Every structure is written in C-alpha cells, then in structure tokens.
Structure 1
Amino acid sequence: MPGVISEPGAFVIVGMAGFFTAVSNTPISTIIFVSEMTNSYHLLLPSLLVCSVAHLASKKWTIYEKQVQNMMHSPAHTGTFFVDVLQEIRVSDLIDRLKQVKCIPEEMLFIDFKKFFSTTKQHYFPVIDKNNRLKGIFSSTDIRSVLFEPDIEHLVVMKDIAKTDIITTSPADNLNAVMRKMTMSNIDSLPVVENNDKTRLLGMLNRREVIAFYNQQVEVMKTLQKQ
C-alpha cells in the first residue's frame, strides 16, 4: 500500500532472508549476507528476528541433502570438536579407570626383575624408593639393552635403567593436555600423581581409556540432543 510502507525494498530483503534461512538452515550466514548486500547494519535486527523465527519453524528440513545436524556430526570440525570435548574432561573423571600396576623397587637387581617380567603383561614399570615415592619409570622397550646381557644382570639395579625425567599427569589436568603429552612423547600410558605431590603415584592412565571415555561422552551428548 503506497504511503503505508515507505521502503518496500527493506521488507523484500528481510523476507528473502527469512525464506533462505528456512530452506537452507543457515540463519547466521544469511544475516551476514543481508548486511553485505545492503552494505549496512540497519536491517540487522529485523533480519535477526525473521531468520530466528524461520529457523525454529523449519529446522527439520533443508535443501541440502548432506547438511549435517551440527558441528558434532561435521567431518570438517572433527578435530576442533575433539579438542573442545577433551578440554572439558578432567583426569579426576577417570580415576576409577586408572590401571593399578606393579611398582618396582629401585634397588631391585635386574636378574630378579627378569623373573617377574616373564610372568607379567605389564608394559610400563614405575620405580619407587623404600618410602613408596615415585623415582622413575621404564618400559619393556627400555630393558632390551640389558635383557640379553647375562654378565651384568647381577650388577644392574632397576634405578640404573629407569628414566628420571618422568612425564606425569594429575587429576586436575584435562584430557587434551594428557593426549598432547602422549602424542609428543610417543607413549601410550602416563603415571597419574597427586596434584600437590608428584612422587605419589595414583595409577597409570592409558590412551585407550581416554579415547573410550571420550567416545562415551560424545554418545551421551548425542542422546541429549535427540531428546
């Protein structure tokens, strides 16, 4: 009606924005398009209102057959989503999943350790002193140089083999930091120590447990979104 609508072009643009939002499920990008097309922010608020209503009314339909539901289902955002979820999870959430391992006394002779090693499937071996304080750690790979040297196995003690620059984690750390440490050091398990005492071992956290817990949390999030 002439005289009632002073700027019909504005209504046309906002209507187009609402229509495109409804058929494409892209409210944010559509609002940005409107601002770019008009080279102005004058239609930002009406576009925001119309696009929001259009999206809420038609978010179950889209012209894009392969459009994913959200970032959680997007292959392009898998890495970002993975990091975001891991940063929200603390090691303390996995305390009941820590593996309790056999700790090796630092003064144990290698010949005695060989007897134990032949009966275990353990791969990482924390080394402790007589006060049960963590002093080092070694893996089954680290003992290869001594394993086939019978002439020195009566002389070598386990503290000679253990690495003292221990890479640890604590209950306050997030799982993203844990995975970063594992990846950078090329290890599959980390000693978990008390927050305020790095010599008090709580257990070993395996990469497999971290990934399993992550997958469990993602499934919970997907279930909540469907409800």
Structure 2
Amino acid sequence: MEGPIAQIGGGLGSLTGQFFKVSGNRMKLLIAAGAAGGIAATFNAPIAGVMFATEIVLLGNFELTSFGVIVISSGIATVISRIYYGSNPAFIVPQYELEGLLETPLYLIMGLFIGPVAVLYTKFFYKVKDRFESANINPYLKPVVGAFMVGVIGIFLPQTMGDGYEYIEGALKGNMVFSIMFLLIFLKILATSITLGSGGAGGVFAPALFIGAMTGGAFGIVVNYLFPGYTSSPGAYAMVGVGSFLAAVTHAPLTGMFLLFEMTGNYKIIIPTMFATTIGTFVAHRLFSESIDTFELSKRGINIHAGREVTLLSSIKVRDVMRRDFTPVRDKVNLKEFLELVINGGGGFYYPVVDSNGDMLGIISLQDMRRVLFEDYIKEIVTVGELATEDVLVLTPEDNLTTAMKNFALMDIEEIPVVAPDNHKKVIGMLRRGDVIAIYNREILRKHSI
C-alpha cells in the first residue's frame, strides 16, 4: 500500500492544482506535498515524508517556500493518522546499539553489499516488466499468469507473499535463520518483479523494506558468527538493512535514515544506519545511475536529473528559434565579391557555402577572412569554396536547444547551420547562440511572472 499511497497523495495534489489552475512549479509542489502526506500518514513518519518528497519527488531541489508547504502537509497528515491509529512505531523491536568502535567498519562493509543488491532489484524489476510488455499474451491474462507464477513461489516460501511486515519484524528481532533470509532476498525480488511487471497491484516500497531486512539480517548472522564478541545481534543489522536498502534503491539516503528511525523509534542505531546508508547509496549510484523511481523515465528519454536550465532548453526545438532569412554563398564567388555581399547587408557572421545545386559544401565566417582582408590581389583569386571550412557541425529542426548549446560550446562558434532531416546537405536555416540565450531569458522571465 506504500507505493500506491504516494501516488494517491500526489494525484490529489495534482487534482488540486488543476482545479485552481496553478503554474507548473506550483503543480510540482502540490504533488510533492500530497506524496509527503501519504507517506507520513502511512508510516507514522512525518520527517521521512518530508524527506521522501524532497529527495524523490523534487529530486533534492530544496527551497524554503516549498519546504514549508511539504512540512505542513506531512505534519497534518500524521496528526490525522495518529488520531485514528495511535502514535506507535510501525515495528516494535529491541533497543539495539553499537557494541563498540570495532563494529563500525562492519556496517560500512554491509553498505558495500547493500548497493549491488539494490541495483539487482532495480534492473531485474524492469527486465521482467519489459518481458511481460513484449510478451504476445492477452493483456487481461498477463496479471493471471503473474499471479500463478507468484503463487508457485508462495507454495514453497509463503514469506514472499503480501507486504511481509510480520517477517520483517521477525528479522528485526533476530528470529530468522540465515538460509531462509538469504533465499528470501532473491525470491522477494522475483515475486515483486513478476507481480508488478505482469500488471498486478502493489508497490516497490514495502518490498524494499522486506529485502533490506533480509539482506541486513543475513549479513548480521555471518558477522555475528565470525566476530561474536564484537557485534550486535543479527536483528540490529536487519534494522539497519531496512533503511540502507531503501536509500540505495531509491537514491534517497535521508529518506532511508529518517524512515528507519521513525518506524522503529530507536535512535541509538542511527549512526550505523548513516554509515550503511551512505555507502549503500554511493555504491548503487556508481553501479547504476538511475533509481527504481527514475529508471522508467530515463528509458523514455526524460532526463529528470537535469537542472532547470537544461529542462527549459530541452523543451524548445531548434525550428522555433532558427533564422530562415539567411544568405547562402556560391562556392565559385571570390572573396572580394563575398566581402561586398557582407558590407551590403548580408547579415550574420557565418555563411553556408553551397554548390550550383544548393547543397552545402562548407561554411565561411568573417573570422576566416582576417588572413586575407588586406591582400586585394588574393581576394580576387581565392574563392569562398577554397577558404570554407568543410567539416561542419549541423543541427536539424527537431533538435532541442540543449543539444544546440552543447554544440556551440564544443566548437566555440556563434552560428550553426540547420539542415533538412532527410538531407544534411540542404540548409534551411541558421541558429545563433545569441538567439538561444535571448529565448532562454524570455522563458525564464515568463515562468517567474506566472
């Protein structure tokens, strides 16, 4: 229910924004506030709700105004939830704490294991989802097939069924054996991937808590066996595993830390959680740059990690900014005639050089003319085609302005020819760096005025 409640909360925020016809930035804020309220109320974790909205929905874009709205939403949702369900932590567990300084490196090592398991979960989840989407099966039968496969898994290990909170609490109390927990790590990944990939109902949030508890608990049993006098019980490692795995799979370390603290009410374990969470998230991000929440968008070509400037420029096409009133120059024209053309108002500093068929052979700029500017006899002998740069970087009308700015920076030039998509020799316009900057400034002012 955790994944859907975040979507429901975000959906309510979106509906509110649509009803009042707010701007895009305020719409995003309302969605984040709704998601924060949903997570906070479900887990009885107001701080984690705020962190979830800030790190996952807003991708860490912190602003004081947005932070205040999210805090209010999370706080009110938690108050209402506590009126009905009380203020008890989600899991009642013993008060674990560090046994000593020598135990600290073990939590860092656990983070090294948490990261790869989180990446495995993310990649396998979308691999199974893609397989179901491409399968030649009636869409209405896919959830049935998925349910059958999960049911077969559940016959042998029923712990994989449902949200698994009962077994998470068992792992946190140290009441599970290594072999079962080790198997459950991979079978829960498999069962969750099949359920959601086939179109079944559920989320990825609760399974992440389950997998984290089993991973941490299994690791805790191993280190407890190897270093019995220096380590806490396996339940402590299971507890840290819950927060660190959630952080690694979502790339949201603060969410993982605070959610674990608020769900267990155990502050003494926060230091090990910080170590494992930080290392786990770092390793997961190094192995795979996308989280389980952003990978789907990345596959569609949506770069949500880009800053506002890149996002804005990516939304504008070259065709909307390019100049169509450019002046092509024949390759047989000598430099003297070319200078007369420029002086008489050719416009611009860069000119595409074309042959008799109108196909581009290269480009010539006023900077290219500096070497022969005061040599009159050379200007009458040398043609534009001989002086033109043949290796030309071009754009198409469907390219966006982010691509254009990268090309401007790459070549350190002020204008780029825009060519037909089906014929890169056919110039249909010129794009100027100054025009791109002007349109960007105009859009920024327009968005701020809304």
Range class of TM-score, shorter chain: 0.5 to 0.7
- Give the AA of the match of 1:212: A
> In structure 2, do the counterparts of structure 1 residues 222 and 158 end up closer, same or farther at CA, with 3 Å as the change threshold?
same
Q: How much identity, in percent, do the aligned residues show?
A: 24
Counterpart residue identity of residue 102, structure 1: T
Q: Deviations over 1:23-50 (max 9, x none)?
A: 8444589865641423659xxxxxxxxx
Partner residue of 2:381 out of 155, 162, 172: 155
Alignment-mate amino acid for residue 38 of structure 1? E
Q: Which of 9, 24, 37 is the matching residue for 2:261? A: 37
Residue aligning to 1:106: 331
TM-score w.r.t. length of structure 2 = 0.34
Q: Which amino acid aligns with 2:434?
A: R
Distance in 2, matches of 1:23 and 1:89, equals 29
Once the two structures are superposed, the pairs formed by residues 29-108 of structure 1 within 5 Å of their partners are: 34-38=258-262, 80-94=307-321, 97-108=322-333
Q: What secondary structure does 1:130 align onto?
A: coil
> 1:137 is aligned with what amino acid?
I
The answer to whether the aligner puts 1:123 opposite 2:349 as a matched pair is yes
- Quote how far apart the aligned CAs of 1:132 are: 1.3
- The alpha-carbon deviation at position 126 of structure 1 amounts to 1.1
Distance across 1 between alignment mates of 2:447 and 2:409: 26
Deviation at 1:80, TM superposition (A): 1.3
Q: Residue in 2 aligned with 1:170?
A: 396
Deviations 1:139-185 (A, max 9, x none): 10001112222232222111011011111101111110000000111
Say whether residues 1:207 and 2:433 are aligned partners: yes
Q: How many residues align?
A: 174
How far residue 138 of structure 1 moved from its aligned partner, in angstroms, is 1.1
User: How much does 1:136 deviate?
Assistant: 0.9
1:179 aligns with 2:405: yes
After TM superposition, give the deviation of residue 91 of structure 1 in Å: 1.3
Moved more, 142-151 or 158-167: 142-151
Structure 1's 35 and 139: CA in aligned 2 closer, same or farther, altered over 3 A? same
Amino acid at match of 1:92: R
Secondary structure of the structure 2 residue equivalent to 1:205: strand
Structure 2 residues without counterparts, runs of 5 or longer: 1-40, 52-65, 75-251, 266-305
DSSP 3-state at the match of 1:100: coil
Question: Equivalent residue for 2:83?
Answer: none
Over 3 Å counting, the alpha-carbon distance change for 1:184 and 1:151 in structure 2 is same
Residues of 2 paired with 1:205 and 1:100: CA distance?
A: 11
Change beyond 3 A, Cα 1:24–1:14:
farther
Q: Matched residues in 2 for 1:183 and 1:16: separation?
A: 45
Alpha-carbon distance between aligned partners in 2 of 1:150 and 1:82, rounded to the nearest angstrom: 47
Q: Give the CA deviation at 1:221.
A: 3.6
Instruction: String of CA shifts for 1:33-74, please: whole Å, max 9, x gaps.
Output: 641423659xxxxxxxxxxxxxxxxxxxxxxxxxxxxxxxxx
Please give the root-mean-square deviation of Cα atoms over the aligned residues, in Å.
3.3
Task: Tell me the residue number matched to 1:194.
Answer: 420
Contact 2:395 2:419 in 1 (8 A): yes
- Structure with the bigger percentage of helix: 2
Kindly state the Cα deviation for residue 188 of structure 1 after the two structures are TM-superposed.
1.3
Task: Give 1:16 shift.
Answer: 6.2
The one of the two structures with greater contact order (alpha-carbon pairs below 8 A, sep at least 6) is 1
Q: Which structure is higher in strand share?
A: 1
Tell me the distance in 1 between the aligned counterparts of 2:310 and 2:320.
17
